[in-house]
Amino acid sequence: MRKTDTYLLVAALAAMVAMGAQSQLTFSPPKLSDAPEDMRDVVQRGYNIVHETHKYAPDRVGNKLDCTNCHFDAGMIKDTLSLVGVAAVFPKINPVVKKPVDLATMTNLCFMRYLNAKPLPTDGSDMTAILAYYQWISKGVPVYAKVPWLGLAPIKSEHKPEAQAGSKVFAQCMPCPGQNGQGLLPSGAPPLWGEGAFPAGPGMGQENVLTAFVHRFMPKGNADLTTTQALDVAAFVLSHPRPQMEHVPGKM
C-alpha cells in the first residue's frame, strides 16, 4: 500500500470512529451537587430559576408560566425540550432570524415569548446563573455534536387541523389543562389560553410548533397522541384568545 493510501485509510477509520462516538452520545447529565465547589451555588441558582421561576425570580415573570412548564424538570430529562447539552451547541443559527444566536439571547427569547416577561440583563447575576447551569449540565457533550435529544422536529402530515375534533381530544386531557384551559397549577398544566397563558406570537403560538410539542410530550409522561390528534388539539388550543406579547424581541 502506498503511503498516501495508508493515510487515507487511517483518516477514513478515524472519521468512522468519530461518527460512531457521536451516535453513541449518551444522556447522562451530571448531578448539580458535583459542580465545581466555587460554582455550585451559582449552578444551583440557575437550576432553581429555570425550575421554579416564580419562586426564585419573582420579578422576572410576566404570566403564570415557569420555564419548567415546557422544559420539564428544568430540562434535566430527555423526554422534554431538554436543556442538557445546549451549552455545547450554541451559538447556533436560529431558523426564524436565520442568524447565529447565543444562549443568553435564546433564553431571553423564551422570557419574552413564553413568560411574557422583560428580557434579563445579559450581564446580570440571574442570566449568569442560568448560563452556568446550562454549562454544567452540558458537561461531556462534545462542542457542536449532533445531540439527538435536542430540538423539536416538525410533524409531517397531510391532515388539515380541525379545532372542533381537537376539542374532543382535549376532553381526554383532563384534569391537567382545566376544562376552560385555565390549567391546574402547581401540579398540572399552566393556563393554555386566556389570562396568564403564553402570549400570541412565534414559537408555541404557531400550530406547527405546538403540534410538535404536543405530539412528542403530551400527555406528560405518557405521550401517545397520533399526529392527527396532535394537529387537531393544537388547533383547538390556539383557536382561543391569548394575551399579547408585552416585550417584543427587537431586531437581532
Q: Applying CB under 6 A, which residues contact ligand HEC?
A: 50, 53, 65, 67, 69-71, 81, 83, 86, 103, 106-107, 110-111, 114-115, 130, 150-152, 198, 203-204, 209
If the CB atoms of residues 32 and 165 are measured against ligand HEC, the closer one turns out to be 32
Min dist. Cβ of residue 57 to ligand HEC (A):
8
Residue nearest to ligand HEC (CB): 67
Which strand (E) or helix (H) includes residue 106? helix 103-113
Min dist. Cβ of residue 240 to ligand HEC (A):
15
β-pair partners for 92: 101
If the CB atoms of residues 125 and 164 are measured against ligand HEC, the closer one turns out to be 125
If the CB atoms of residues 166 and 201 are measured against ligand HEC, the closer one turns out to be 201
Q: Left if phi > 0, otherwise alpha if psi is -120 to 50, otherwise beta: which for 186?
A: alpha
Min dist. Cβ of residue 34 to ligand HEC (A):
21
Whole-number Å distance between alpha carbons of 106 and 51 = 17
Q: Which three cell numbers stand for residue 217?
A: 410530550
Which strand (E) or helix (H) includes residue 238? helix 227-238
If the CB atoms of residues 154 and 175 are measured against ligand HEC, the closer one turns out to be 154
Nearest to 223 by CA among 78, 83, 25: 78
Say which amino acid occupies 10: V
